[in-house]
Amino acid sequence: MIERYSRPDMKRVWSDENKFSKWLDVEIAVCSAWTEHGRIPRASLDKIKQAHCDLDRMQEILAETHHDMTAFLGSIADSVGPDARYIHLGLTSNDVMDTALSLQLVEASKILLDDLKELTTAVAVLAIKHKHTIAIGRTHGIHAEPTTFGLKLAIWFEELQRHRRRLEEAARVIAYGKISGAVGTYATVPPEIEEMTCAKLGLEPAPVSNQILQRDRHAQFVTTLALVGASLEKFATEIRLLQKTESREVEEPFQEGQTGSSAMPHKRNPELCERICGMARLLRGYAVTAMENVSLWHERDISHSSAERIILPDATLLLDYMLDIFTKVIRGLNVYPENMQNGLDITRGLVFSQRVMLALIDKGISRQEAYKFVQRNAMKSWSTGEKFLTLLEADEELMARIGKEELKAIFDYRFYLEHVDTIFRRLGLTEAQWKDCDTLKDARLAPGAI
């Protein structure tokens, strides 16, 4: 991943230093298990525990062998001496590489789960703040009925909660190791060595394996990241649409001195949200590649290996960056309730059309007839620009069926707020339920901080 989109903690997970440190952790854990099993002398294990990987020396050996694992083993052997003969005892390369990769993915998962918690909290805080900030709802891009900006965010909050559970499950599925030999038969390394090794590393032993951990695990992990990215794209797209000049209901942060366009000094573009949308496309591509990696020849080939060197680091680096950027967008989002009100008023009361129709039905009129009464006046309002209520009041046939004051009472935006509190209570998004919401409780914010 390019430097611009790489955050330090996730970069460290995928650094060569961390990767080969994990390889060494696996080798030492296996040697420790062999020692407990009586195969490796305790004195030899003490020397093996002092082993280290010299990356420069590894590169020298790699230039000759063209094999990562033999180069790695040659490098650490130099630091151990004769007792290095016990290192990698009975193992195949992927016993070490796949188990170490699982450790890296577990590390990456922890960072991403923290990122998700931060974003979920930011969305929750903004949702509660704008719980009753009324705005127009749109279907097909056309004004429908009023909603609130907080309800939009409440939907995001609950979606992020689902992603948190998905990522926790994906992290659990990937937290497996395998120390089972060349094709998974344990012919050269018994199952108890695998069990002991995995316990030392904080992993579960794969119940069955061949030369590798099966790649449906990795596909589930990357697909989960892509799903999170798809939601971030959804959220970012909504902000982009609401930021359009014609409505400008919200606006992503824009710092003093920031430039929106080299040609037009007035521009304030939603470039952060656009960036997120572009990156989500990459994540979906990585998910496809991860699924392609599931099918390998017989007990294993290496067609997946080259792809994984790119997609696993890049997918985690990308999502880490996307979550951080979108959290900053949410925390700094400019919200313009006055423009939301202007949007509500732009159709001159047409948003109340369903309420008028339902009121007529309550008077005993058939739905079809009530629909016609309302629609003919609504279409006239569209074409003439006259207020919907004015046209209804001038419709003698309709007014013969409903009182004038009753009709006027229908045109009240507060009607659409009646059940908002109920929805928020369901989600734990009220101050009274603050302590019961796991995400908010775990966040570094005190109850009542809103």
* Residue positions counted in the chain: 450
Q: Which residues pair with 8 in a beta bridge?
A: none
132, 419 contact by CB (below 8 A): no
Active-site residue, 140 included: yes
Instruction: Identify the active-site residue in 140, 266, 298, 419.
Output: 140
Helix (H) or strand (E) holding 158: helix 149-174
Show the DSSP H helices in 258-302 as ranges: 271-292
As given in the structure block, the two tokens for residue 234 are: 């959804």
HSE toward the beta carbon, residue 439, CA cutoff 13 A: 25
The active-site residue out of 37, 52, 261, 303 is 261
Match 């990308």 to its residue by tokens. Answer: 318
- Measured over the CA atoms of residue 193, residue 196, residue 197 and residue 203, the dihedral's sign is positive
Burial class (CB in 10 A: 0-12, 13-18, 19+), 46: exposed
Query: What does the alpha-carbon distance between residue 363 and residue 374 come to, in Å, rounded to a whole number?
Result: 14
Q: Catalytic: 261? A: yes
Find the Cα–Cα–Cα–Cα dihedral 45, 49, 50, 54, rounded to 10°: 120
Let me know: does 148 contact 423? Beta carbons within 8 Å.
Answer: no
User: Which residues are tagged catalytic?
Assistant: 140, 261
